[in-house]
């Protein structure tokens, strides 16, 4: 479903802050893979997701989405294939637009926008049902501005928006990091459910090792712009945080450095 071949990306080239973030990165996701991504500070987790999403062009390498070469495709064109949820709950939704308007925008991802009315009453009914399934009471607030929602509600809505139009790949960039533990757990539960229901392929960056182990069918660990661990199947099911930390220092020759990951 996704193939990254020899991806390189540097930032601030030619300055003292030059940083080679992704180094000959290779990754291959099979359809239906739900991969959790973990790694230390500056390992390149979010950068990898942004490379896939097309936030900027990579320096070298090839990105294939379901066989289509999107390496030089602009971000908004690539959106056709991708569902995305961001770390900051404010980024995934339009604050001053209504809940149903946000959903209607998301439902038209990758489709031409016409001069037909922006939201049909048939759609509205469908959204009501889908919001009801979130169990946040949003189905009664469809015409409320999204800015009035809490961070957790906004992330849940963003998740729904990302999957409304089935994406070939769902990109989750630490989407529970800004939430309190209880809300984070709920949003993760919803993530699992939406991925299972729609049989999605997903890439989920997380700072929480326990979450990375508990969710998905495959776990990759990044260090210094590369993937140093790739664990799936039975092996992943048996994984513990301690074992993971041990395998990290074996593979990287250094201590795991992500304050939030250790605290989480």
Partner 1 sequence: MDTLLNYFSSLPGAVAQGIIAGIMAIGVYITYRVLDVADLTVDGSYCTGAAVCAAMLINGHSVWVAMLVAMLAGMVAGLITGFFHTFMGIPAILSGILTQLMLWSINLKIMGIALGKVSAAVIAVSSRNYKLLASMLKMGDTLLVLAIFSVILIAVLYWFFGTEYGATLRATGDNPQMSRALGINTDIRKIMGLVLSNGIVALAGSLLAQYQGNAEINMGRGAIVTGLAAVIIGEALLGKLTKNNFALKLFAVIVGGIVYFIIYSTIIYLGVESNYLKMLSALVLACFLAVPYWKTRFAKHAKRSNVTKGEP
Residues lying near partner 1 in the complex (CB under 8 A): 53, 74-77, 79-80, 82, 84, 86, 90-98, 101, 104-106, 108-111, 113-119, 143, 145, 147-148, 161
Q: What are 262's two structure tokens?
A: 């250790």
For the CB of residue 60, give the shortest distance to partner 1 in the complex, in Å.
23
For the CB of residue 231, give the shortest distance to partner 1 in the complex, in Å.
29
Q: In what order do the strands lie in the sheet with 2-11?
A: 19-29, 2-11, 60-65, 68-69
Task: Indicate the SS3 state at residue 188.
Answer: helix
Which of 74/240 has CB closer to partner 1? Answer: 74
How far apart CA 16 and CA 33 sit, in angstroms, is 39
Which of 81/256 has CB closer to partner 1? Answer: 81
Biggest CA-to-CA distance, the chain = 59
For the CB of residue 130, give the shortest distance to partner 1 in the complex, in Å.
17
Which of 57/247 has CB closer to partner 1? Answer: 57
Which of 79/241 has CB closer to partner 1? Answer: 79
Q: What are 120's two structure tokens?
A: 């049909």
Which of 38/162 has CB closer to partner 1? Answer: 162
For the CB of residue 53, give the shortest distance to partner 1 in the complex, in Å.
7
Question: Residue 234's CB: how many other CB atoms inside 10 A?
Answer: 8
How far apart CA 239 and CA 232 sit, in angstroms, is 10
Alpha carbons within 13 angstroms on the beta-carbon side of residue 217 total: 13
For the CB of residue 104, give the shortest distance to partner 1 in the complex, in Å.
7
For the CB of residue 122, give the shortest distance to partner 1 in the complex, in Å.
14
How far apart CA 22 and CA 236 sit, in angstroms, is 25
Which of 19/90 has CB closer to partner 1? Answer: 90
């Amino acid at each position: 479903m996704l193939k990254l071949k020899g991806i390189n990306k540097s930032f601030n080239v030619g300055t003292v802050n030059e940083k080679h973030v992704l180094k000959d990165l290779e990754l291959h996701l099979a359809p239906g893979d739900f991969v959790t991504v973990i790694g230390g500070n500056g390992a390149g987790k979010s950068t990898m997701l942004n490379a896939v999403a097309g936030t900027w062009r990579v320096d070298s390498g090839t990105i294939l989405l379901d066989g289509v070469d999107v390496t030089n495709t602009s971000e908004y064109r690539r959106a056709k294939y991708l569902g995305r949820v961001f770390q900051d709950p404010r980024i995934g939704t339009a604050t001053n637009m209504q809940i149903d308007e946000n959903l209607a925008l998301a439902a038209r991802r990758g489709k031409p926008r016409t001069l037909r009315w922006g939201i049909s009453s048939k759609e509205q009914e469908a959204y009501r049902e889908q919001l009801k399934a979130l169990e946040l009471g949003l189905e009664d607030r469809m015409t409320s501005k999204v800015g009035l929602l809490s961070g957790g509600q906004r992330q849940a809505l963003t998740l729904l928006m990302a999957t409304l139009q089935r994406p070939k790949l769902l990109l989750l960039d630490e989407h529970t990091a800004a939430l309190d533990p209880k809300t984070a757990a709920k949003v993760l539960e919803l993530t699992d459910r939406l991925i299972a229901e729609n049989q999605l392929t997903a890439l989920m960056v997380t700072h929480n090792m326990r979450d990375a182990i508990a969710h998905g069918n495959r776990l990759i660990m990044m260090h210094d712009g590369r993937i140093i661990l790739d664990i799936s199947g039975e092996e992943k099911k048996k994984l513990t945080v301690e074992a993971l930390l041990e395998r990290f220092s074996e593979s990287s020759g250094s201590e795991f450095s992500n304050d939030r990951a250790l605290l989480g």
